[in-house]
Amino acid sequence: MKKAYSLFLFSFFILSCKGQDTTKTVEISIPTDPATDIVSAALKDKNGNIWFARSGRGVYRYDGKSFAHFTEKDGLSSNDVSCIYEDNLGKLWFGTSFGVCYYDGKTFIHFPIAATDSSNAYSSKDNYSQIPTQVGSILQDKAGNYWFVTLNNGVFRYDGKSFTNFLSYEVLVCILEDKAGNIWVGSWAHGGVYRYDGASFTHFNGLSDDMIKCMLADKNGDIWFGTRDRGVDCYDGKVITHFSKKDGLGNDNVSCIFEDKNEHIWFGSDFTGVGICFYDGTSFTNVVVKEIVTDKESWLYAVMTIAQDNDGHLWFGSRGGYIFRYDGKTFTDFSEKVFKQH
C-alpha cells in the first residue's frame, strides 16, 4: 500500500507563550523509543484543522494538505504537551509540563494558574506553596468557567477573576461535564472518580477500578470510564455496566475514548496487541492496522489518542510517535516524511 507523506506527533505541555505563526521546514525522524515518544493528544478545531501533540516535540497542525510545527521557539511554554482543548470562542488551549497557554490564531499567550482561594472538598493535606505546572486536561463548562486538571495540585477552576483549587492532594488526569452540568474528574493515583455538583466534590463509587485513564460523556448522556487494566465502565445515570475483553473489548487497558459522527464509541489501548476497537451500542468490533504494521512497528497498536476530521476519517496517535489515518477500510501512515510547514 502506498503511504501518504506525513508526520508524527506528541507533546505534554506549554508555558510561556509569545510566539508567532511562522514558516519553516523540519525533518521528523523515525521514532525509536515507544516508552517516551508518544502522540499524546489530537483535536479537530472549528476550522477543520487537526492538531496533534507529540512528547517533547511541541504541536503540529494539519490543514488537509501540509503540517505546521510549533515549539517553544514559537511561544509554547514547553514542548511537552499533554492535552489540546478548544474553548467556546475558538481559542486553542495547551496543557503542558509547565502550565498552560492558549493560541489566538497568531500568538501563543501564557496563562498562569495560581490558587487564590483554598476551597477544597477533601484534602487535609492542602499545600498551596507550589504553582501548578503539569496540566493534563482542560475544560470550559457551560457557565464559562475554565477547569485545569493538574498532576501535582488537583484541579483549578477559573471564573474569570480568580482560581479555586479542589482535590489538591489527588493526581488527576481527565475531566468532563455531563448534561446536567456536573463536573467529573478522574484520578490515576488510586483515587477513582469525583463528581462536582456545583457545591462540592463527592467520590463516585462502584467502578471496576480506581485508576482512571480517560473519560467520555457521549451524545446520549452516558459516561464512559477507561481504566488501567479492567476495561471500561459505562454509567447511564442509574446503573454502571462493565465491559472487558470477555465482552469483546480489544484490551482491558484503555488509554483513550472517542465518539465518532455515527455515535460509535472508539477505544484505544496503551498496550501492544489489539489497540483499537469500537462499540456500536450492541457489540464490539476490533480493528487491526494490518496494512502498515511490521514486527518493528507493533507499537502502532498502543493507541493514545483519537480524532475525526471533516471527511469522517479517523486519526490515531500511538506510542512510538506514530500517526495514522483510517478511512473506514484502510490505514494511511503519516509518520515518516519531511513536512513543509506554513
Q: What is the pLDDT of residues 212-244, one digit of tens each?
A: 999 999 999 999 999 999 999 999 999 999 999
Q: Which SS3 state, helix, strand or coil, does residue 6 take?
A: coil
61: confidence class by pLDDT, cuts 50, 70, 90: very high
DSSP character at residue 254? -
Least confident of 2-11, 219-228, 316-325: 2-11
Least confident of 27-31, 134-138, 201-205: 27-31
How far apart CA 4 and CA 19 sit, in angstroms, is 30
Alpha carbons within 13 angstroms on the beta-carbon side of residue 210 total 7
Alpha carbon distance, N-terminus to C-terminus of the chain: 28
131: confidence class by pLDDT, cuts 50, 70, 90: low
pLDDT higher than threshold 70 for residue 152: yes
pLDDT higher than threshold 70 for residue 87: yes
Predicted local distance difference test score (pLDDT) of residue 241: 98
* CB 54 within 8 Å of CB 34: no
Predicted local distance difference test score (pLDDT) of residue 164: 94
Predicted local distance difference test score (pLDDT) of residue 119: 44
Alpha helices in the chain (DSSP H): none
pLDDT higher than threshold 90 for residue 139: yes
pLDDT higher than threshold 60 for residue 115: no
Q: CA separation (Å) from 226 to 28, 130, 244, 249? A: 31, 30, 10, 11
Residues 6+ away with beta carbon under 8 Å from 173? 136, 137, 149, 151, 186, 187, 188, 212, 213, 214
Of the candidates 71, 68, 153, 81, the residue with the CA atom closest to the CA atom of residue 118: 153
Helix, strand, coil tally for the chain in percent (to 5): 5, 45, 55
Every domain of the chain and the residues it spans? 24-341
Question: What's the one-letter identity of residue 48?
Answer: G
Query: Whole-number mean pLDDT of the chain?
Result: 82
Question: What's the one-letter identity of residue 227?
Answer: T
pLDDT higher than threshold 60 for residue 288: yes
Domain 24-341 has CATH 3.40.50.300: no
Predicted local distance difference test score (pLDDT) of residue 62: 93
Q: What is the mean pLDDT of residues 82-100?
A: 95
Backbone angles phi, psi at 328, to 5 degrees: 100, -15
pLDDT higher than threshold 50 for residue 196: yes
Of the candidates 194, 265, 204, 201, the residue with the CA atom closest to the CA atom of residue 232: 265
Least confident of 231-240, 270-279, 320-329: 270-279
pLDDT higher than threshold 70 for residue 297: no
Predicted local distance difference test score (pLDDT) of residue 302: 83
